[in-house]
Structure 1
Amino acid sequence: MTDASPECTTRQGAVRGRTERGVTAFLGVPYAAAPFGPRRFAAPAPAEPWSGVRDATAYGPTAPKPPYAPPFDVLIPETSVPGEECLNLNVWTPEPGPGARLPVMVWLHGGSFSNGSANSSGYRGETFARDGVVFVGVNYRLGTDGFLHLPGAPDNRGLLDQIAALEWVRDNIEAFGGDPDRVTVFGESAGAMAIGLLLTEPRARGLFRRAALQSGACHHFVRPDTAHRIGERMARSLGVAHSAEAFAAVPLPELTAAQDALRADYASRPDPAVWGDAALNGMVFEPVAERLALPGPDLGVDLLIGSNREENRLFMVPTGRFATITEKRARRGAAAYGMDLDRYAASRPGASPGELLEAIGTDWFYRIPAARLAESVPGSYVYEFGWRSPRFDGELGACHAVEIGFVFDLLDDPDHVPLVGEEGPRDLARTVHAAWVAFASTGDPGWPAYDPAGERTTMVFDDGACRAEADPRAAERELWHDVR
């Protein structure tokens, strides 16, 4: 018989979890102190120790955030739990207690650095634990608290939180059955973009052995002048000084509303004269970096990198832009990305302006950055997710975030149904999930590595037709040489 309420001991104190069907979950475990009061906008501090046994059978608080704007509030369900102790994580393990030394997978959720949480039901780690992995989902600061540039506060506080969580994993995961020397960090969208920056962050070196980046790489950040400009704009909207001290005095509901208004302001006119180099990125809250930094061949981290074939359909189809965009608007959009629309039209005869602009945006934002990262680290593995969702009469396609339910093998979870539909292909989910588990366990997901001087092998995941292809859509990839 397995103890239904097992205990594990961390450096801060003991925690009690709950076991169901052979998997034990420890939820809401703090990895850093609550980032409020005197710690507001500061780098994460160690979690306060506790006496006795802390109950870890319910999710902890999530980072403050406004809801997604329609229609994305329906397509991407959001989970929010109030409370200040939001720097916490959730662990699922098949063998609680030291000695098992199982591979570990640490999940960094997406959400444009402004939304999301590790508490979403679609991010349950039970399927990974079922397959012999210790899974950790991390909650980190978002939006203003995590990523707005504020004089008097360190930049990239959300990234610092992620590093603190990885340090917690290094120091404590063995007590939950994990091997601290076999840690894979993986994430989607903003989570993957964060990993792209962690790959070159000295403070993160040695904290993970492998990394899997889904729909995000190293290219997604703002430079300091843009970060300062965005911070000043939000300060003016609040009528306060642009400083950490002044922002800390703003009531949290007012600050959250101002964050939402700033995003709406950006969406209404993403003008480079106003938003600097954030104008093309689709996000006002992003990590701050001086320049693009790609890791070199001596990275010492195994990489799995990829994107979905029609990422930008998520942002164009539900809003109606996909079907209504004119050729003039498509040309203007393509030029903003540094691309000539006619070059894509030549390889896609009969494509509509919306289809062409979507393909260009997907490559600029997702596929080409993934390729650049793979080119910089020999031995990387590259994938493309090509299964097309039936939602929106099939036009949603292989859109952004649709692969997550497959990676987690949780297609029937209510969080994934809005994008995947009611009857997603379970065989494909098992195949994708198994590849991620194999990569975390051995460093090899099951297909040849990407060789930029050779075949550029890419695993294409599609319903009934998973296959390793040599350099899919090579002609379009080559168009981005010296552009992206």
Structure 2
Amino acid sequence: MVAAAVATHLLLLLASSLVSFTLAIPRIPSGAVSVSTPLGTAQGTLDVDGANRFSVRYATASRWKASTIVTQWQLPNGSGDPAALPLQCPQIRVDASTFSEDCLSMILYVPVDISAGSKVPTLVWIHGGSFDSGSATGPGLDGSKLAIATHSIVAVIQYRLGALGLLAPNGPTNLAVTDTINALKFLGKILPSFGGDASKVTLAGQSSGASMIRTLLAVPSASSLFRSAILQSDPMDYGFLSPPTQSLLQTTFNDLVNCSTTDTACHSALPISSILSAQVTLENEANALDPAAGQGEPLRPVRDGQLITTPLDSTAPFPAVNKPLLLTNVKNEGGPTVYELLFPGGPQPAALFVPVCDFSLGEDRTEIVMNSGFYPVDPNGDSRHPMEVLTTDYVWRCPTWTLARNWVSHGAPAYVGMYTLGATYPANADTPFCLASGNVCHRDDIYIVFGTTPNPTPAQTALTLEMQARYRMFLLTGSPNAPGLEPWAPVSSSGNVPAKELGSKTTSDGLYPPAACAPSFWGAAAQYDYQVFNI
């Protein structure tokens, strides 16, 4: 019974990222604005936080077909209101009136003192949500304050999610990835009109948004579209899907929707509710169909050898690189998974730790973990604590540190940070663990970066000011070191990772300890999922 319950819960791993909030950005316009672009006149409005806001459709796409960049400026969803925000892409757990398949849109935030000829950098934000939820209008993603603080243009983009972006029955993979590439190409056309320099684009994103950026780093044809990247809380342990795994998931999905590969009329006639229902069924069954799909993010980009040419991990020769990276995690990435999804009812006995590990890691890795000393289990304590530490290390923190070491050893700088202070994100507001003093859960860095924390404390305000100053310098120079702030050392060529604590200092030197993220443990003695499944 315990194993069955654990299996059921673990199928929801990371599903907290599925929670989507609709149109959280204020709609109240303060005034109309317009900009002349090569695609026509861009109409926008003065955002309530002080920057000019432009919502725009960047591409169009028929269902399960490649997207095409628009050739003229268009407001999202056929709207005639420049203040209107784009509908989100189809997804579960939201009202159907809030989404549309016509969702390839973005929102630009441009400080009022930036105009054509300014040549400022651009930060492109890619939202999280396990590749099957989220939008450009999620909580805290109003980019006005971030744009003003960094004196840059902030673009928050959307791309097709779930089955519509990653499970085309007629064969093409990675539609969501090519959507994102088209968003960057669109920006290259119009940024100079707004005062941006198309050669100074930095990608930033959280969770699966960071995974999408890692994907773009593995796409040679996208390399010229951006010059640096910020990855926040990327669940790198999963890696990309392999073609055989993707093919199995695709075949299963085709069976669920009961359309043959070539029956385009059947594809077009499917109600969106049927597509989403089949998607949910597949996501729940994916790990049982093929453990390489994983338990938390089974629908994700596939390394097809054509668009995505490298795993960008430790399973194959690492390519030469030249883009600076800023890589961050939060202290308790695994908090929502363990304390909200798996065991929300209260403390769990120590005896549960091993079966949970067995299900997630298999017996061999579980034995290594149990003998490591990194995850001690108090015989009389709550086993959720070591579960959370293990989940944070294994899914997020340690594979991030491994990527940083690989990145630096192959040609480009990388900076690693750990948020030891955050601001509770709405999806975490009902999880007592995430509300406890000192805990920083997955997504609790979003408000801090955007400067959108409701009623911030002085410490939160100070951290926001610091991070926005560091982001400004990273956009300009590829380094997060800013005047008046403590130095942030890059990862060394020897593999030392000086992970800077962002917020509260928990160590005397302000560097987060490696512990299980030392090179000899995760990725070596205990392998990541992408190594175990050779993906």
Query: Which band: TM-score by shorter chain?
Result: 0.7 to 0.9
Q: Matched residues in 2 for 1:32 and 1:51: separation?
A: 10
| Offset of residue 264 of structure 1 | 4.0
State the shift of 1:110 in Å: 0.4
Offset at 1:113?
0.2
2:278 to 258, 281, 289: 258
Amino acid at match of 1:14: T
Please name the residue that 1:277 is paired with.
292
Matched, 1:360 2:390: yes
Q: Secondary structure at the match of 1:400?
A: coil
Deviation (angstroms), 1:159: 0.6
Asked if 1:400 is matched to 2:430, the reply is no
Is 1:221 the equivalent of 2:244? no
Deviation, structure 1 residue 349: 6.6
- Name the structure 2 match of 1:13: 40
How many residues align structurally? 454
The structure, 1 or 2, with the larger RCO (C-alpha pairs under 8 Å, 6+ apart) is 2
> Taking every aligned residue pair, what percent have the same amino acid on both sides?
25
Report the secondary structure of 1:342's partner residue.
helix
Question: CA 1:426–1:465 in 2, change beyond 3 Å: closer, same or farther?
Answer: farther
CA distance in 1, matches of 2:420, 2:499: 12
Q: Which residue of 1 aligns with 2:321?
A: 299
1:287 paired to 2:304: no
Tell me the equivalent position of 1:88.
105
Please identify, of 398-407 and 284-293, the stretch whose mean Cα deviation from structure 2 is larger. 284-293
CA contact (8 A) 1:226 1:276 kept: no
Q: In terms of mean alpha carbon deviation, does 83-92 or 12-21 score higher?
A: 12-21
Tell me: CA distance 1:174–1:309, structure 2 relative to 1, closer, same or farther (3 Å): same
Q: Does 1:473 align with 2:514?
A: yes
Report how far residue 104 of structure 1 moved. Answer: 0.6
Match of 2:421 among 387, 406, 411: 387
Q: Partners in 2 of 1:243 and 1:395 — Cα distance? A: 48
Given candidates 158, 165, 176, the residue that maps to 1:139 is 158
Aligned-pair CA distance for 1:408: 1.0
Unaligned runs of 5+ in 2: 1-29, 305-309, 482-487, 529-535
2:370 maps to what in 1? 342
1:453 alignment partner in structure 2: 494
1:162 aligns with 2:176: no
- The answer for unaligned runs of 5 or more in structure 1 is 69-77, 414-420
CA distance in structure 1 between the aligned counterparts of 2:158 and 2:321, rounded to whole angstroms: 26
Deviates more, 1:307-316 or 1:236-245: 236-245
1:373 matched to 2:403? The reply is yes
CA contact (8 A) 2:44 2:52 kept: yes
Query: Once the two structures are superposed, what CA deviation does each residue of 1:58-115 show, in whole Å capped at 9, x if it has no partner?
Result: 11222111117xxxxxxxxx99733443111100011453111111100000000000
The 5-angstrom pairing of residues 147-158 of structure 1 reads 147-152=166-171, 154-158=172-176
TM-score if structure 2 supplies the norm length?
Answer: 0.77
Deviations 1:126-167 (A, max 9, x none): 012222111000011000111125333x21111101000011
Match of 2:127 among 98, 109, 116: 109
Return the alpha-carbon distance in structure 2 between the equivalents of residues 22 and 481 of structure 1: 46
Q: Which residue of 2 aligns with 1:46?
A: 69
1:198-246 deviations in whole A, cap 9, x for unaligned? 1020221111111000111655321111112112222222333255724
Q: In structure 2, what is the Cα distance between the partners aligned to 1:304 and 1:24?
A: 27
Amino acid in structure 1 at the alignment position of 2:89: A
Contact 2:422 2:448 in 1 (8 A): no
Q: Is the 8 A contact 2:169 2:254 kept in 1?
A: no
Asked whether the equivalents of residues 330 and 353 of structure 1 are also in contact (C-alpha less than 8 Å), the reply is no
Give the residue type in structure 2 aligned to 1:427.
Answer: A
For residues 80 and 212 of structure 1, the distance between their equivalents in structure 2, rounded to whole angstroms, comes to 33
Alignment partners' CA distance in 1, 2:235 and 2:36: 35
> Match for 2:395: what amino acid?
F
Mapped to 1, the partners of 2:463 and 2:96 lie a distance apart of 27
Displacement, 1:255?
1.3
**Conserved? CA contact 2:241–2:302, under 8 Å:** yes
* Cα deviation, residue 48, structure 1: 4.6
C-alpha distance after superposition, 1:321-365 (max 9, x if no partner): 273361332341464393433245456474743222222222221
Q: In the TM superposition, what whole-angstrom CA distance separates every residue of 1:403-439 from its partner, at most 9, and x where no partner exists? A: 11111111118xxxxxxx9998322232233322321
Secondary structure (helix, strand or coil) at the match of 1:103 reads strand
2:128·2:208 contact (CA, 8 Å) conserved in 1?
Answer: yes
Q: Over residues 358-401 of structure 1, what are the superposed CA-to-partner deviations in whole Å (9 max), with x where a residue is unaligned?
A: 22222221112211221122221111112277864445632211
* 8 Å CA contact 2:348, 2:382 repeated in 1: no
C-alpha distance in 1 between matches for 2:354 and 2:123:
46
Aligned partner letter, 2:103: C
Amino acid across the alignment from 1:408:
F
Shift of 1:196: 0.6
Q: Per-residue deviation at 1:193?
A: 0.5
Give the deviation of 1:466 after TM superposition: 9.2
- Aligned-residue Cα RMSD (Å) equals 3.1
Q: TM-score, normalised by structure 1?
A: 0.84
The 8 Å contact of residues 109 and 191 in structure 1, kept in 2 or not, is answered as yes
2:531 alignment partner in structure 1: none
- 1:457 aligns to what SS in structure 2? coil
Q: SS state of the match for residue 341, structure 2?
A: coil
